Amino acid sequence: MKLLHTADWHIGRQLNNNGISLLADQNFMLNEIISIAKREAVDGVIIAGDLYDRGMPPVEAVKLFDETLTQLLFENQIPVYAITGNHDSAKRLQFGQEFFKRQHFHLVSRLDDAFQPVETDEAQIFLLPFIDPIDARIYYQDKDIRDIKQAIERIVTDMKPLFKPDKAHILVTHFAVAKGKDDDALREQMLSETTRTVGGLTTLTSDLFEDFDYVALGHIHTRFASPTEKIAYSGSPLIFNKDEAKRGDIKGGYLLEISAESFEKTFIPLPVYKDFLVLEAPYQTLISKDFYNQYPRHQVRFAFEILVEDRKELEGINIRAQLEEIYGEEIVDLRIRETNPREVSRKVKISQKGSDLSDDVLIANFFQEMTGGQNLSDYQKEVITELLSEIKEEN
């Protein structure tokens, strides 16, 4: 059986939530996935969670997903095996699932349906969506299930008796899975994903899934976080943040050829719709013609790390406006980094007795810590006071 393992499409996402739409990128990317699926004559496409970027996706995102399914299912007769992730609305995506199954779109959003594997001639495909421990407590009517590790142990234990020995056993799921309980490498690879512990960031380990022939993971956006060869993340098909761009991540999916007796996995890279460059230099260098003429300005996306000895060097400069004029409007991220930060005479501990401090004092302390000891200006204090008053009135 030949499958294409993808995950974390996040259709409808914006870069850094600053209004830079990725719909054109995603349209390009999804057409490439369809092309790979056709070229490789796969028996199905896996989407391991986070089909959309949020529970109520914009109309354009739903339309794009619908067009993609139409091409896969109806125009090319390629089945789709999908689950909901933590960014999806499980309840909303329950609609029409029985009908969709008949069209070979197998989408599971409830724990109840995870114990009904999709049967093919070569494999059993178990679809386990993202869940919280409370979902397992309700399903099993067991108050002793307190964390996600206990929930997954119970679920996998109940799946194993369903295994047919003459078939490959594939699990599609959406959690953070590490090699061991103290897998620091996983944390370094988290990048754009959530730091919530609900997803099992500190508790799920790969040994929980060792009885499966392959586990197609979603949730972490890089394939390099894969705990083992057969328990793997495909990563997201697009770069979603500055850290990934800075590392030069190559995105794609895994082509799987699997049976009860054999297993082969090949990474298939996806072409890039629009490049994303991270430039790190002093401000005067960034606005120097000799420097910026090296780059495809107004054609790609940029993130900037501006190096200064003291932030006061940039006072009175409309940095973003100048950089947009030179490089283009798609500036995803802009940071100022002091190369010779001043010593702070007193370390501000925001967490210390935080509940005893007023909101304006907490904000002032946070600003002071983040800027190396600088104080808010009178104008900044006035703006903060007004905003806090508005928030209080709304609540």
Structure tokens at 339: 């190369």
**Strands 118-119 and 123-127, how do they pair?**
antiparallel
Structure tokens at 275: 């490049």
Domain termination site, one of 240, 269, 298 = 269
**pLDDT given for residue 76 in this prediction:** 97
- Same domain? 218 vs 362: no
- Residue 327: strand, helix, or coil: helix
Secondary structure (DSSP) of 31-66? HHHHHHHHHTT-SEEEEES-SBSSSS--HHHHHHHH
- Nearest 5°: phi and psi at 96? 75, 15
Secondary structure (DSSP) of 213-264? SEEEEESSS-GGG-SSSSEEE---SS--SHHHHHHTPPPEEEEEEE-SS-EE
- Same domain? 356 vs 311: no
- Tell me the angle at which helices 133-140 and 148-159 cross, rounded to the nearest 10 degrees: 50
Q: Output the domain CATH number for residue 245.
A: 3.60.21.10
- Same domain? 178 vs 82: yes
- Same domain? 40 vs 55: yes
Q: Are 247 and 225 in contact (CB under 8 A)?
A: no
- Same domain? 220 vs 236: yes
Size of the chain in residues: 395
**pLDDT given for residue 99 in this prediction:** 86
What's the Cα-to-Cα distance from 382 to each of 312, 357, 385, 387, rounded to whole Å? Answer: 21, 18, 5, 9
Which residue reads 């390009």 in tokens? Answer: 28
Strand-pairing partners, residue 173, are 217
- Same domain? 142 vs 281: no
- Same domain? 86 vs 206: yes
**pLDDT given for residue 306 in this prediction:** 95
- Same domain? 209 vs 327: no
- Same domain? 230 vs 306: no
Q: Are 213 and 261 in contact (CB under 8 A)?
A: no
Q: How far apart are CA 156 and CA 143, in angstroms?
A: 18
- Residue 159: strand, helix, or coil: helix
Structure tokens at 305: 């790390």
- For 41, the domain range is 2-269
**pLDDT given for residue 150 in this prediction:** 94
Environment class of residue 85 by beta-carbon count within 10 Å: exposed (0-12), middle (13-18) or buried (19+)?
A: buried
- Same domain? 311 vs 393: no
Structure tokens at 13: 């996402």
**pLDDT given for residue 357 in this prediction:** 61
Domain termination site, one of 253, 269, 285 = 269
Task: Name the domain count of the chain.
Answer: 3
Which residue ranges of the chain lie beneath pLDDT 50? 191-192, 194-202, 344-355
Which residue, 1, 66, 77, is CA-closest to 30? Answer: 66
- Same domain? 251 vs 279: no
Domain termination site, one of 269, 299, 331 = 269
- Same domain? 314 vs 376: no
**pLDDT given for residue 342 in this prediction:** 60
Q: How far apart are CA 303 and CA 156, in angstroms?
A: 43
